[in-house]
Each structure stands twice: as C-alpha cells, then as structure tokens.
Structure 1
Amino acid sequence: MTRTLEFAESITIEALERDPYPIYARLRREAPITPVPAANVWFATRWADVETIVKSPRLFTAEAADSPVERSFGSPTILTCEGAVHRELRGGLEARYRAREVSGYIDALARPIAERVLDELPRGEPVNLMARYFEPVSALALAETLGLGSVPAATLLRWFHGLSQGAINYENDPRRHAACLQTCAELEAELVPLLRDLADAPQDTPLSHMLHFAMPEGQCRPVERILPSVKVTLLGGMQEPGHGAGTVFVGLMQDRRQYEAVKDGGPEMLRSAVNEGLRWVAPIGTQLRTALEDVEIGGVTLAKGTPIAAILASANRDETRFADPDRFDIFREEGSHAAFGFGNHFCAGRWFSVALMEITLDVLFAACPDIRLVDGRNPSFRGWEFRMAPEIVVSL
C-alpha cells in the first residue's frame, strides 16, 4: 500500500499529458480510488466506480467550489451545476441536438463544409490533417449550427485552443489561466453584442434558445447568465468531433484490414469505427464531482467536500469490461463506451458529435480512398483531459 500511495503522489501532469493510460491501468489494479496531488483531485479509474459517481447526484454533485472550468469561464456552467439551473441551461441547447433533429440537418450542413475544407488542401505534399482538416471542419460545423457562421475558422480555432488551456488546468498553472482569460476577453468582445441582439430579437438558434428557453413571454436571461455555458459549448463542440475523428483515422491507418472493412462496409461499419475510436482514446477524459457527504466508494471513504475526477478515459480501458482494451478494434461487441459520460450530464451534443465525425471521415475516405500516413511520421497522442494526435501527416 505504501508503494501504491507513493506512486499516486509521484504522478505528474507531464506524465499524464504524455500518456495517462499506463498510469490509469496501475491505479485500476492497485488504487482505483486515490488522491493525485498534482491534479488537486482524487481519481476514480474503474468503470463501475466512474459510473456510480457520475450517476449518483445525491452523493456526488457537479457543483464544484474550485473546478478548472468555473475558474476559467465563470459560473454557472452547464457542466458544473445541478437541478433547476442545469435544466435551464441545458434546455436551451437540447432541442437543436436531439438525435432526430440532428439527423434532419447534419448532412446538408456538415458535408459541404468538409468537402470545401478538403478541396482547399494542397495535393502532393505533406499535410497535417488535424490542423488543416479535422479541427477546422469541427469548428465550422459547430459555429454554423450555433448561429456563428460568420466567424472565420482561424478565429474559432484560436478561441478553442485558448479556452482549452483553462478547462484542462487542474494544476492551476497561472500561464494556462492567463492564456484562457485572454481568449475569453476576445471571445466576449465578439459574442456579447451578438447575444444582446438576440435578447432583443430572438432567432431559431441554440444561442438564442439559451437566452429565451422556458422564460415568460417578453423576458430573457441576462447574457452574463449563459455566457459561461456558451464557452463550454464552443470548447466541447469543437474539440470532441474533430479530435475524435482524428483518433479514428489514426486507428484505421494503423490497421489497414480495419480500414478496408470500413471503406467497404457502409454506414454501419463507419459508425462502429467511430464508437471504437471514442472508446479507445476518449477526447474528453473526465467528469469532475464533489462528495456531498462522507461516502464510501470502491472500498474507500471520501470525506464530504472531496473533489473526485471520474476518469472516463480509464473506464473505457477497464479490463473487466473490454478485452484487450488498449487495442483499437472496430469489431468489438462489448457494449457502449463512457466517452460521453453518464447520467444527467451525459453529453448534450453526443448525436451531433458522432454524426459529424462520420461525415468528416466519409468525405475524406470517398475523396482519398488510398490515403496513408506519410512514412516515418507516425502520429503520437498527447493530453489527459483532452487527448488527441496533434500531427496526422498524410500526402493527398
């Protein structure tokens, strides 16, 4: 036990950023519920404990006194509230992102964006698909559906990368915090006037719905009330589909047999690949909770007020649920993954994210059926809260 505690205390943010999965695997074996001082929270790493924590709001609340998201974006956010406040903020988004609604518009919205971005890439020279294709398509599609279609991709991506520095800042690094605050100031200068216009003249967009949902006629929420959740929506909505699609691409390129199965297998096989990519490398790694009372979980008693990160990425590699969990395998039949979370905070944009990932990959594979990674440029992943392959280099 002493060696295990010493191991948990020795975990660094850099080690987590480099590759958290060996760390999670050891914690699942030896200390599935343990404090990790470098991240200022406890970690829960086994599937059963992660699911219990996130699906037990009477014992573990999303409201947090010192979460990275609230420190960076303000309060309340859709991620860090419960009850009526959560229903109020989530309700304005959900109508646009329900499964049936998404299926009615996503192809007409996203496919032209993906085709245009792909057409603009140079041929016959190395191209980083993450920076030049996956992230821009994700950002532009989200902006279009939110009602921000006039914002250029470069601006959206600058916002995304700046906001992410705050959301992942468990260690409370002042440099990351400052970078995020600078981005928030730029974003607010652009969005606050737009939101004030929507307050006076509603439109059929999620941003407008967030202001007016379930409000008495003639009234709307203050712009400041929804602004933190707008930042969360921009960040998650740009991050998950783009980085998730990149992960699926890397998995398929590392096993051409699986790629050929997807290329020849139609929509169902592509959906299997997308779900396996989300399991294999969860784009968003955690859901943060706080114990509402002294509570036992996984054989450990947490004191009231203890912050605990339910590690979705680790749950997705739990050996008791998935055979050979470190392997990318689109032919799995072992049940759902945890990448979108659980319970009341199950990702509101999950249907949008999956559909956008499918379209992004389908457009790429249709235009470039023989696509391969450039020799000697094998992608490597980075991050633990947001994990992705920063460089996916191909020659189109």
Structure 2
Amino acid sequence: MTVTFAEAITIEDLERDPYPIYARLRREAPITRVPAANVWFATRWADVETIVKTPSLFTAEAADSPVERSFGCPTILTSEGEVHRDLRGGVEARYKAREVEGYIEGLARPIAERVLSELPPGEPVNLMDRYFEPVSALALAQTLGLEDIPAAVLLRWFHGLSQGAINYENDPRRHAICLDACAEIEAVLVPKLRQLSREPANTPLSHMLHFNMPEGESRPVEQVLPSVKVTLLGGMQEPGHGAGSVFVGLMQDRAQFDAVKQGGKDMLTRAVNEGLRWVAPIGTQLRTALEDTEIGGVFIPKGTPVAAILASANHDEARFRDPGRFDIFREDGGHAAFGFGKHFCAGRWFSVALMEIMLDVLFRAYPDVRLLARHEPSFHGWEFRMAPEILVSLRPAN
C-alpha cells in the first residue's frame, strides 16, 4: 500500500522545520489529513482564512483539542457564542489598542531595562532565556496583577503549559508535564481568584470573573481557570518568541538592522510584523467541521478536526513573494500570525508593542549587538516555533 506524503509526516519532522513540509502540502495536498497530528491540515492562505472566518461551517469548539485536554474547558480559544463572548470580554478590555497605548511604555520599558542591565557585559548571553522570555513573562504578569510572582516561576509555568498546548500527538509525557504546571498554577491562583470574586479589581483576572455578570455576582473560579491558563501561555509566549525571531532576522542582514535603528518606530513596527510573518510564534487555529463541506475542492466530513495552519498561510507563494526571506521592506500585505475571525488574538496590540519595546531597549543599549562568531540560531517547533538559543556578546557602544 502506497503511503502518501502527508501520511509519512512525523511530529519530529514538523518540529525540526515545518516550512518545507507546508510548501509541499500547499502544492500537492493543501487540505489533507496528517495522521501524526491527529488532525487535517489546511495550508493555503485562502483556505485558512475561509475555515477560520466561516463559523457556520467550522466551530472553535473541540473537546479533544490539546488545549482542552490539558487546561480544561471552557477556554477562550475553544468556545463559541455567549461563553466565548463573556470570556473574551473579560480578557480583552486591558489589551485593546488604545488601552495598551496608554500604559505599555510605563509598564514594559522599566522591566526590559532592568532585565537587560542584569546581563553580564562582554560575556556570552542567550538572549532568549535571559532577556526576551523573562521580559515577556514579567510584563504579562504585571498586566494581570501578578507582579509578585518571580520570572523563574512564570517561565516554569509557561514551559509546562506549552507542553500541553502543542500536544497534538497526545504524548503522555508532555501531558504529565503540563498537568504538573497546571497544579502549581492553580495552587497559587485559585486563592487570588477567590479574593477577586469578593473584591473586584481593575485587572483581566477580575474582569474574567465579573464581566457581564449581574451586580454582586461573579463566575465560578473553575469556569475561568482554563482561560487564565490560555492567557498566561499566549501572553508570555508570543511576544518573547516573536521578538527573538525578529532579532535573528535582523542579524542575518545588517542593512535591514541599520534601517531599523535609523528609521524610528515605523521601521521597528515593520520589522516586528515581518518577524511575525516569517516565523509565526503560534502556528495554528483549530476548527471542527460542523457538517459535510467542501473547501478548495476538498471534501471535509462532518466532525473533522482541521488545523488552519497560520504559519503556512504566512508563507503562501500566492500572497508573498519569496516568503522564506525575512524582508522588512516587503509590501505584500498583512500577516496571519494573530489569526482570523472573532477568535483573532485578543492580545495582538500588547504583543506588538511589547516586542517593539524589548527590541528598542536592546538596540539603544547595544547598537552594535551581534551574534557570537560562528553561531547561527536554529528554530524549533511547529505549533509554537522559536529560536531557543540566540547567543550574543553584549558590548556597549564606545
């Protein structure tokens, strides 16, 4: 029996480098079942957008999704209707564009400057685990009202949660790691959430409990806990890993790096959005077919789980010229890294603004920052993709 290309794909192949796999799927089988991941993949921009933006045909509800298996339900990612409206309404108030603009500088820049100042000048440093990830975690925690939790604890939670969210293959080892992290998170946050139920505050955690509830009432803590975990994971992961990808892209082309340093905020914003397109920190939006349907000429049976591959859409040759190249000057249009439709990332503006600040603080302090000689960062992951080692030697400008 002949094995198709999609049937031969392994999780290890995807985690090593999914982009050549996505490219071949776009050419040969743009919507197809990938057994290793227990879902179908949709890899072309047009199909990804259609699937995610057509809730009459595809629902975000997915009882067997990695997120619900690991975090519980309901979650902001895997709910619809009033449940989704109320969970998202509680989260997004603090992260709307105008709201973020009013607080992000005063919140994030001091954190970035402090973390950077603690790094040893002139010695090899991994910017990912010593700068980008800690700043991302601490900034997110402060917006949530969790500023008393150390970076090391936040990052332990983050890395544990991520093992559940990426676990499409249902690996028991990954599931156990995530459950341990969830238990630790609940031990710390359940008392805080119960207090917020009694004494509301102006934080997303409090809003999730009280948004759209009758006066004097709040949601059960257990109902919001799964979405709290989603918020912790996404809010810590996307800015830090995204900023790392931007940095790697700029280090590959010093002319683009110089253009960013000389071009002010507009060029930095361009670089951030290009980095998010080039290496999407979060790779998919998961949907389930509500009925038998046909997309892009492919029949999809009712009940089929379909991963709309945002990372592949961002490399679709029909939309982007030379998509594998990091190019801050491209004029191809927007990216899909934050998803589509009503489940579009609620933290988009916070993420972009935080990425800009992390990079700006770094470039102001070390305008000639470079990768260590003979060090070429490599990326890992497909659902969450990042460069785990970005080695530099930080030398102040003369």
Q: TM-score band, normalised by the shorter chain?
A: over 0.9
Which of the residues 279, 282, 285 maps onto 2:283? 285
Per the normalisation by structure 2, the TM-score is: 0.98
CA-atom RMSD in angstroms: 0.7
Partner of 2:220: 222
Partner of 2:144: 146
Secondary structure of the residue aligned to 2:222 is helix
CA distance in 1, matches of 2:247, 2:63: 38
Partner of 1:340: 338
CA apart distance, 1:317: 0.1
Say yes or no: does 1:66 pair with 2:78.
Answer: no
Counterpart amino acid of residue 115 in structure 1: E
CA distance in 1, matches of 2:79, 2:381: 25
CA apart distance, 1:94: 1.2
Q: How many residues get paired? A: 394
Partner of 2:385: 387
Q: Residue 63 of structure 2 contacts residue 69 of structure 2 at CA under 8 Å; is this kept in 1? A: no
CA distance in 2, matches of 1:160, 1:367: 28
CA distance in 1, matches of 2:40, 2:208: 33
Partner of 1:116: 114
CA apart distance, 1:65: 2.2
CA distance in 1, matches of 2:302, 2:28: 24
CA distance in 1, matches of 2:86, 2:204: 13
Equivalent residues in 2 for 1:300-315, closer than 5 Å: 300-315=298-313
Which of the residues 157, 170, 173 maps onto 2:171? 173
Q: In structure 1, list runs of 5 or more residues that go unmatched.
A: none
CA apart distance, 1:124: 1.1
CA distance in 2, matches of 1:337, 1:135: 23
Deviant stretches of 4+, over 2 Å? none
* CA deviation profile, 1:189-226 (whole Å, cap 9, x unmatched): 00000000000001111100000001000100000000
Equivalent residues in 2 for 1:38-117, closer than 5 Å: 38-117=36-115
CA distance in 2, matches of 1:34, 1:326: 23
Partner of 1:155: 153
Counterpart amino acid of residue 19 in structure 2: Y
* CA deviation profile, 1:123-175 (whole Å, cap 9, x unmatched): 11100000000000000000000110000000000000000000000000000
CA distance in 2, matches of 1:324, 1:377: 25
Counterpart amino acid of residue 41 in structure 1: V
Q: In structure 2, list runs of 5 or more residues that go unmatched.
A: none
Which of the residues 24, 31, 55 maps onto 1:33? 31
Which of the residues 356, 371, 374 maps onto 1:373? 371
CA distance in 2, matches of 1:275, 1:189: 37
CA distance in 2, matches of 1:183, 1:238: 15
CA distance in 2, matches of 1:272, 1:389: 20
CA apart distance, 1:95: 0.9
Partner of 1:254: 252
Secondary structure of the residue aligned to 1:117 is helix
Counterpart amino acid of residue 188 in structure 1: E
CA distance in 2, matches of 1:60, 1:254: 40
